[in-house]
């Protein structure tokens, strides 16, 4: 169960995500300029992948949620990827 919040770091669409893990720790996950979609999940065996945010949390699924830029709505969206423990936003 992770809480995802985002804040824009500059006008060039650099984004920093703050992810709160099940034990209450807050992790800063810097975005990559030009990347408009991320998959958040437990660390994968393949290591670092562009657009992937790896979290070490026993309640995190391998592919827990997807965060993406919704150009039509003009904001970041998060969608749970059928994770075992769900995804909470802002709470």
Hey, what are 39's tokens? 């998959």
What is the pLDDT at residue 69? Answer: 86
Say how far apart CA 58 and CA 61 lie, in whole Å: 8
- Which pLDDT does position 80 carry in this prediction? 93
Mean pLDDT by 10 residues, the chain (91 residues): 39 62 78 81 71 84 89 86 86 57
**pLDDT given at position 19:** 79
Say which residues have a Cβ less than 8 Å from residue 54's Cβ, sequence separation at least 6: 41, 42, 43, 44, 48
Please state the pTM of the whole predicted model: 0.68
Q: What is the pLDDT of residue 79?
A: 92
User: Which residues does residue 4 pair with via DSSP β-bridges, in sequence order?
Assistant: 19, 89
């Amino acid at each position: 169960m992770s809480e995802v919040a985002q804040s824009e770091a500059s006008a060039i669409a650099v984004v920093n995500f703050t992810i709160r893990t099940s034990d209450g720790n807050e992790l800063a996950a810097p975005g990559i300029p030009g990347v408009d979609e991320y998959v958040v999940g437990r660390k994968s065996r393949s290591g670092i992948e562009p657009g992937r945010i790896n979290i070490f949390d026993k309640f995190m699924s391998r592919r827990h949620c997807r965060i993406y830029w919704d150009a039509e709505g003009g904001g970041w969206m998060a969608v749970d990827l059928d994770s075992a423990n769900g995804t909470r936003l802002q709470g």
